């Protein structure tokens, strides 16, 4: 237990932890900050925690302002700049101390006092937003990393605040070192990989005569060796790039795409954590094919539900070993029952197959390996690595995949089918009368009658319901508070007559009168991927379980498959189906020679052909009508 806000203990030492506010989390690579306070004394811990609270308040305010302004440098580039600044200033100060002559206790205390005064000045600068004093060290860091940046850009102003916060850390370290206290400062001195300016980043010229870097450490007394600036100290060469740094660079480059951030960033970060935990954060030049194969062998042993529990603190090797042991125990027990004649050979084989633990699928394994390979590709393309990509050729090939998938069968997503949808729409959530406003009512119906992905339906705004060429449509476009999966996802989908009869247009008008932006304002984004569908899909899953409708492979997303199946059965051409569903058209004839595709009137006719056996009855009650025949094999 801690003894103040954000305080907790690890062993005898106090640590400080603060959660990053949700509205600035996208600017960080983690969800919380955690720092050792390097003391076991509660009163000292409270004082240091208060300082960190003030500094991080200022930092978060600066991030909010920067996000409002719009930045061109990536988060990884900014991190590299500030880490370089911190490392350089700390090491320059240590060089100054090493070269200084012996000093008296009074001179040592004066040096520590100057470090405290510097920290106080930096904190005042953060509080009052007067940050000119940090321009020297910041310009020096930008020059070392060859990132030209003019002082009047939003990126530079944002970096000024980060630099001030970083320099308060430098002052804290130097105060303790001036008192002769040396502890593990590796957190602050990890040398970042060079992060050159990426294409498309604003490139104003750094002044040729940049201001001299701030003297962060002051020696024993005024004199020739009393003050040493960061520019005066010669530092060792930057070590080779590691796996983690290559992933950071890849993530920073890809994060320019909002859709990639939404759909892929956390998955790539998960692969990064898994790889580093398995084989360590090795330099790229020391990573061999044998290391990659060892990683593949290890994750092949992981259970299918790996990573689903936030409370499991075991290492992946421990998880793999425990999973193997549990499966072996079950099989040993079955073999013993077979030997004793309790089981027949047929029963034994059936129970043995049922008793095997489901492991990661071949697709998941190959995705982790593909992301590993992409990190090397990024490093090669950006001149951080010149060797051969060791991940090439390690993926599971077709023979390996087939063999594994026989042991770990994949659960493919299937359409509900006519009878399945009729059973779903017969449940209580779809049987009310009058105005329908609940997302649980509308989103499955929109998926089945318009083919929208759950996220696309849940983020619909009032302005997305509009007439195009005389046809009421739903517009799927990116914008404030909205994203699309890919370029081909931009589209306008005619609204099915059943949706209109049930009151979808009236719902949009009601939300306008309520001064609401979204059709479903009560649905919150999930914390994991910051998507509306995160929590809602789970709610839908619970609902289908409660009403006895849940089945493997049938979920909310499956309604899109029903949309496609009904279009195909109605004779709608594949090109039109792809446009309506938001799929990329790679066919040369349809894609290049007919980029606009069918008219809105034609698309409206295609959508109106969809018949799931449901209609709008009196008082907008959803009614089931006779089936057109037995449900086909979907």
Tens-digit pLDDT profile for residues 268-293: 999 999 999 999 998 998 999 889 99
Give the Cα separation of 595 and 490 in Å (integer): 13
Give the Cα separation of 229 and 295 in Å (integer): 45
63-72, 256-265, 388-397 — which is least confidently predicted? 63-72
Q: Say which residue, 246 or 124, is predicted with more confidence.
A: 246
Of 68, 66, 15, residue with least CA distance to 45? 15
Strands (E), 456-549: 465-468, 471-476, 491-494
- What pLDDT, on a 0 to 100 scale, did the predictor assign at position 216? 37
- What pLDDT, on a 0 to 100 scale, did the predictor assign at position 411? 65
Kindly tell me the sign of the dihedral angle through the C-alpha atoms of 595, 596, 597, 603: positive
Give the Cα separation of 517 and 48 in Å (integer): 44
Contact 566, 612 (CB under 8 A): yes
**Greatest Cα-to-Cα distance within the chain, rounded to the nearest angstrom:** 98
Position 407 confidence tier, pLDDT thresholds 50, 70, 90: low
Tokens 């500094």 appear where?
Answer: 55
Position 4 confidence tier, pLDDT thresholds 50, 70, 90: low
CA 273 to each of CA 247, 269, 281, 304: distance values in angstroms, whole numbers, following the listed order = 10, 6, 10, 17
Contact 24, 67 (CB under 8 A): yes
Of 460, 538, 527, residue with least CA distance to 492? 460
- What pLDDT, on a 0 to 100 scale, did the predictor assign at position 496? 96
Provide the pairing of β-strand 614-616 with 622-624.
antiparallel
- What pLDDT, on a 0 to 100 scale, did the predictor assign at position 371? 94
- Provide long-range contacts, Cβ within 8 A and 24+ apart, for 562-566: 562/415, 562/416, 562/417, 562/421, 562/447, 562/448, 562/612, 563/447, 563/448, 563/449, 563/450, 563/451, 563/610, 564/415, 564/451, 565/415, 565/634, 566/609, 566/610, 566/611, 566/612
Position 135 confidence tier, pLDDT thresholds 50, 70, 90: confident
- What pLDDT, on a 0 to 100 scale, did the predictor assign at position 37? 82
- State CA 355 to chain mean position distance: 35
| 28-43 mean pLDDT | 78
Give the Cα separation of 237 and 167 in Å (integer): 22
Give the Cα separation of 34 and 28 in Å (integer): 13
175-189, 456-470, 496-510 — which is least confidently predicted? 175-189
- What pLDDT, on a 0 to 100 scale, did the predictor assign at position 375? 94
Position 136 confidence tier, pLDDT thresholds 50, 70, 90: confident
Q: Say which residue, 302 or 230, is predicted with more confidence.
A: 302
Residue 161's Cβ-count burial label (10 Å; 0-12, 13-18, 19+) is: buried
**pLDDT tens-digit series, residues 332-344:** 788 878 888 888 8
- In the chain, DSSP finds a helix count (H) and a strand count (E) of 24, 10
Position 17 confidence tier, pLDDT thresholds 50, 70, 90: confident
Give the Cα separation of 457 and 442 in Å (integer): 9
Contact 530, 483 (CB under 8 A): no
- Asked if the model's pLDDT at residue 208 lies above 50, the reply is no
- What pLDDT, on a 0 to 100 scale, did the predictor assign at position 230? 39
Position 235 confidence tier, pLDDT thresholds 50, 70, 90: very low
Position 261 confidence tier, pLDDT thresholds 50, 70, 90: confident
- What pLDDT, on a 0 to 100 scale, did the predictor assign at position 147? 82
Position 308 confidence tier, pLDDT thresholds 50, 70, 90: low
Helix (H, G, I), strand (E, B) or coil at 302: coil
State the chain's mean pLDDT as an integer: 81
CA 270 to each of CA 243, 251, 372: distance values in angstroms, whole numbers, following the listed order = 14, 12, 11
- Asked if the model's pLDDT at residue 472 lies above 80, the reply is yes
**pLDDT tens-digit series, residues 409-426:** 566 688 999 999 999 999
Helices 362-381 and 289-299, axial angle in degrees (round to 10)? 150
- What pLDDT, on a 0 to 100 scale, did the predictor assign at position 219? 35
Phi, psi of 33 (to 5 degrees): -105, 135
How many C-beta atoms surround the C-beta of residue 488 within 10 A?
16
342: its two tokens:
């309790």
390: its two tokens:
């060791």
- What pLDDT, on a 0 to 100 scale, did the predictor assign at position 326? 82
Position 457 confidence tier, pLDDT thresholds 50, 70, 90: very high
SS (HEC) of 310-349: CCCCCCHHHHHHHHHHHHHHHHHHHHHHHHCCCCCHHHHH
- Asked if the model's pLDDT at residue 533 lies above 80, the reply is yes
- What pLDDT, on a 0 to 100 scale, did the predictor assign at position 273? 92
**pLDDT tens-digit series, residues 63-113:** 776 666 555 676 667 888 888 888 888 888 888 888 888 888 888 888 888
Of the ranges 34-38, 300-304, 352-356, 559-563, the best mean pLDDT one: 559-563
215: its two tokens:
């003297």
CA 516 to each of CA 13, 489, 508, 520: distance values in angstroms, whole numbers, following the listed order = 49, 25, 9, 9
Q: What is the pTM of this model?
A: 0.49
- What pLDDT, on a 0 to 100 scale, did the predictor assign at position 72? 65
- Asked if the model's pLDDT at residue 466 lies above 80, the reply is yes
Kindly tell me the sign of the dihedral angle through the C-alpha atoms of 299, 304, 307, 310: negative
383: its two tokens:
């001149």
**pLDDT tens-digit series, residues 547-599:** 999 887 888 999 999 999 999 999 999 989 999 998 877 777 776 767 788 89
- What pLDDT, on a 0 to 100 scale, did the predictor assign at position 148? 80
- Quick one: what percent of the chain has pLDDT higher than 70? 83
Radius of gyration of the chain (CA): 30
- Asked if the model's pLDDT at residue 202 lies above 70, the reply is no
């Amino acid at each position: 237990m801690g003894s103040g806000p954000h305080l907790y203990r690890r062993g005898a030492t106090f640590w400080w932890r603060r959660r990053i506010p949700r509205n600035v989390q996208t600017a960080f690579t983690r969800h919380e900050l955690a720092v050792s306070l390097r003391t076991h004394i509660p009163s000292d811990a409270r004082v240091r925690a208060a300082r960190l609270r003030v500094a991080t308040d200022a930092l978060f305010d600066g991030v909010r302002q920067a996000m409002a302004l719009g930045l061109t440098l990536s988060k990884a580039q900014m991190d590299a700049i500030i880490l370089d600044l911190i490392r350089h200033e700390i090491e320059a100060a240590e060089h100054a101390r090493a070269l200084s002559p012996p000093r008296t206790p009074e001179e040592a205390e004066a040096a520590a006092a100057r470090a405290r005064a510097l920290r106080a000045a930096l904190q005042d600068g953060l509080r009052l937003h007067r940050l000119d004093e940090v321009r020297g060290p910041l310009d020096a860091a930008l020059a070392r990393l060859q990132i030209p940046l003019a002082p009047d850009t939003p990126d530079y102003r944002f970096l000024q605040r980060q630099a001030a916060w970083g320099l308060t850390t430098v002052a804290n370290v130097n105060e303790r070192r001036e008192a002769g206290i040396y502890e593990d400062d590796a957190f602050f001195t990890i040398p970042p990989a060079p992060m050159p300016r990426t294409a498309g980043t604003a490139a104003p010229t750094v002044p040729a005569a940049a201001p001299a870097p701030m003297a962060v450490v002051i020696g024993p007394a005024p004199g020739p060796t009393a003050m040493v600036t960061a520019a005066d100290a010669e530092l060792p060469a930057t070590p080779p790039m590691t796996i983690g740094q290559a992933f950071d660079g890849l993530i920073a480059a890809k994060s320019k795409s909002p859709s990639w951030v939404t759909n892929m960033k956390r998955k790539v970060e998960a692969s990064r954590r898994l790889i580093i935990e398995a084989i360590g954060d090795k330099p790229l030049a020391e990573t061999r094919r044998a290391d990659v194969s060892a990683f593949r062998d290890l994750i092949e042993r992981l259970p299918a539900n790996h990573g689903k529990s936030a409370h499991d603190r075991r290492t992946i090797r421990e998880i793999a070993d425990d999973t193997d042991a549990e499966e072996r125990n079950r099989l040993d027990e079955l073999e013993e029952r077979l030997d004793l004649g309790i089981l027949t050979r047929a029963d034994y084989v059936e129970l043995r197959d049922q008793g095997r633990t489901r492991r990661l699928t071949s697709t998941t394994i190959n995705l982790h390996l593909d992301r590993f390979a992409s990190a090397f590709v990024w490093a090669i393309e950006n001149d951080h690595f010149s060797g051969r990509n060791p991940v090439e050729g390690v993926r599971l090939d077709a023979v390996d995949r087939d063999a594994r998938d026989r042991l770990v069968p994949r659960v493919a997503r299937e359409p509900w089918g006519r009878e399945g949808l009729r059973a779903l729409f017969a449940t209580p959530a779809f049987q009310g009368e009058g105005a329908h406003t609940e997302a649980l009512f509308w989103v499955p119906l929109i998926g089945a009658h318009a083919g929208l992905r759950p996220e696309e339906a849940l983020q619909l705004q009032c302005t997305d319901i509009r007439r195009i060429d005389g046809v009421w449509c739903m517009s799927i476009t990116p914008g404030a508070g909205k994203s699309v999966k890919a370029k081909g996802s931009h589209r306008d989908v005619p609204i099915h007559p059943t949706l209109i009869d049930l009151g979808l247009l009236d719902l949009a008008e009601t939300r306008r009168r309520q001064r609401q932006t979204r059709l479903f304002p009560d649905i919150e984004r999930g914390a994991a991927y910051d998507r509306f569908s995160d929590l809602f899909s789970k709610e839908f899953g619970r609902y289908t379980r409660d009403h006895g409708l849940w089945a493997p492979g049938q979920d909310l997303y499956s309604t899109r498959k029903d949309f496609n199946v009904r279009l195909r059965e109605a004779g709608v051409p594949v090109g039109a189906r792809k446009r309506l569903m938001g799929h990329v058209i790679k066919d040369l004839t349809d894609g290049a020679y007919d980029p606009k595709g069918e008219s809105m009137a034609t698309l409206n006719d295609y959508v109106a052909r969809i018949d799931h056996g449901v209609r709008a009855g009196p008082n907008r009650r959803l009614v089931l009508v006779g089936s057109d025949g037995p449900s086909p094999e979907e």
